Chains A and B, each alone.
Chain A
Amino acid sequence: MYNFLKKGGLIIVAFSFFACSDGDMLGFFVSQSGGVDNRTEYSLLQNSETGVQIFTTESETYTLCLVGDTHIGNAENILKMEQIVRDSVMAIIILGDISTGKESDMLIAADFVNNSPTPVVTLIGNHDLFFNGWELFKKLFGSSVFYFEVHTPSAKDLHICLDSGNGMLGKKQYDWLQNVLKTKRGTYRHCVVYTHVNLFRTNHSQLGSANMPLEETYQLMHLLSSNHVNFVFMGHDHYREELTQNQVRYITLDALSNEKITQPSYVILSVNEAIHYQFEDL
């Protein structure tokens, strides 16, 4: 019995280490990227210097392309997708895990972001933090906690991008989010939140993919619903899921990478007086 338990435990740990390939072993024990509070502090300072990014459109309807884990190492899928959506979307939003976390792959990802004819907004994911990835991420992509606005002739919408790469928001980021929603939400028509780590564990598509701690999840759910957030888009799990809780829609995207867990896909988000989303297989 003892041997069985010992072997079983070792197998579980081994599987979990490699739940996503190219794992960072040291990161299992300690965060190498200074923690989410440090990243939030840096991002808010950076945001105050660069100002809020505003997308403006002459049309009352605009579309965004949302992409789950791209895990760039091989950029084939994202290049293919960009060519498909190029003429029809205002911007591409990558919901974290842009690359495998290795420096060479981060540079390929940055090359795509910088040279894409369609503007690209990037969130940070757990893989982007591997191998002390934050230092390179902030140089290549900048802030990890921010919001941007979309202005149409008659309305403006708020799009909030969160840093959940460590599997938690942390106190500073939560306080910032609370302040943004409490002071600004009322002046916008729609509010959409993007975060890498999915909030709920309703399936086991990836053993060991990890979520946020329960209390932080519940605290965030309450904050989002009490401030009338319309949608939350998430990645990380590589498994499509659509849930509603207290009038907030929680959508988890498939991965765009070629990992054969699910069909690579992306989401086209069409926004006017209502918000519509559609999964498109690549």
Chain B
Amino acid sequence: MKCCTHICVGVLCCLVLAGCSTEKLRIKAGTELGSSVVTDVIGGGFIMPEWLPAHNVEFSGGVKYTNERKTNVFLENSIRMPVERLKIQVINKFQYNKYFAWTIDEYLFFSRLQAVISRFDAALGLSFRTIVQNKSFQETIFEPFNVQYDVGVYIFPVENRVWNVRLGISNYDMFITERMEQFLLSLKSEYHVSEQIGVFASLFLRSAGNFNLSASYYSLYSHIGVRCIIF
């Protein structure tokens, strides 16, 4: 487990160094505040380096720690393929979540196709989850083929706006990858202070028991932070 964390953190550091060397590095950092049925007050922070080695290729990663005694680490790569007006991306992600309080380790592989056009974006993919409790690797629980989705609409067309707001529905965010029915409603906004610096604020509402159950509130949390181009 420690080995896995070290590898992920190591690769994140490599991303930063690679970004420095090729002058294509962005960093996103922020705080998470919220509340859930399981944890009354959630507080934590995250950092996400993004490296663009070529025009249509991006590598990114992220680490988040919250007072739920939970650490999330992910590595992601995306390849852009513009098709006429559509901007299509193929995104592959590996995520490792460690729940210290409950001695649970979770490994996820998540692959998705994302399309952006004008004011709309949508993503559809599959994730594969492995759950290990108390390092008991001979008894892992494997959850294959979870459908992941994300659909959003913006106030303005996505391109070159000083600010924009997106309303979305999905079953994942950068650090949480839920099962198909556990969706998140999100309101995300971003403001570009300058070419180098932007600020963002997002609000997420998570519910339980959607679709075939009786829906009820599960969690509300926010992300507030800064995105800046380092080099």
Q: Residues of A with Cβ closer than 8 Å to B?
A: 1-2, 5, 8-9, 12, 16-17, 19-20, 23-24, 27-33, 35-36, 126, 129-130, 165-168, 170-171, 174, 197, 200-202, 204, 206-216, 218-219, 221-222, 225, 243-246
Contacts and interface: CB of A to CB of B under 8 A. Distances in A.
Given A215-B36, A216-B37, A210 B209 contact: yes
A219 B209 contact: no
Contact of B141 (A32, A168, A202): A202
A214 B133 contact: no
B213 A126 contact: yes
A144 to B, nearest CB: 13
Q: Name the prevailing secondary structure of the B interface residues.
A: strand
Contacts of A8: 124
Contact of B210 (A2, A28, A36, A244): A28
B214 A32 contact: yes
9 contacts: A2-B120, A8-B124, A31-B216, A174-B38, A202-B142, A208-B212, A210-B211, A218-B99, A245-B131
Given A202-B144, A210-B179, A213-B218, A165 B213 contact: yes
Nearest to A206: B212
Interface string B109-151: 0000001010010101000000101101001011111110101
Contacts of A17: 211
B143 A201 contact: yes
Nearest to A9: B151
Contacts of B133: 221-222, 225, 245-246
Interface stretch (B18-26, B49-57, B100-108, B191-199): B100-108
Interface of B: 36-39, 68, 70, 83, 86, 88, 99, 101-104, 106, 115, 117, 120, 122, 124, 131, 133-134, 136, 139, 141-147, 149, 151, 176, 178-182, 206, 208-216, 218-219
Contact of A201 (B103, B146, B206, B215): B146
Contacts of A167: 181, 208-210, 213-214, 216
Nearest to B134: A246
B179 A222 contact: no
A31 to B, nearest CB: 4
Contact of B139 (A165, A209, A244): A244
B215 A29 contact: yes
Contacts of A23: 212
A168 B124 contact: no
Most buried by A among B86, B106, B124: B124
Given A168-B218, A212-B208, A243-B139, 15 more contacts: A1-B83, A9-B149, A23-B212, A166-B214, A166-B216, A168-B37, A171-B38, A213-B219, A214-B179, A215-B38, A215-B39, A218-B99, A218-B102, A245-B133, A246-B139
A208 B104 CA distance: 25
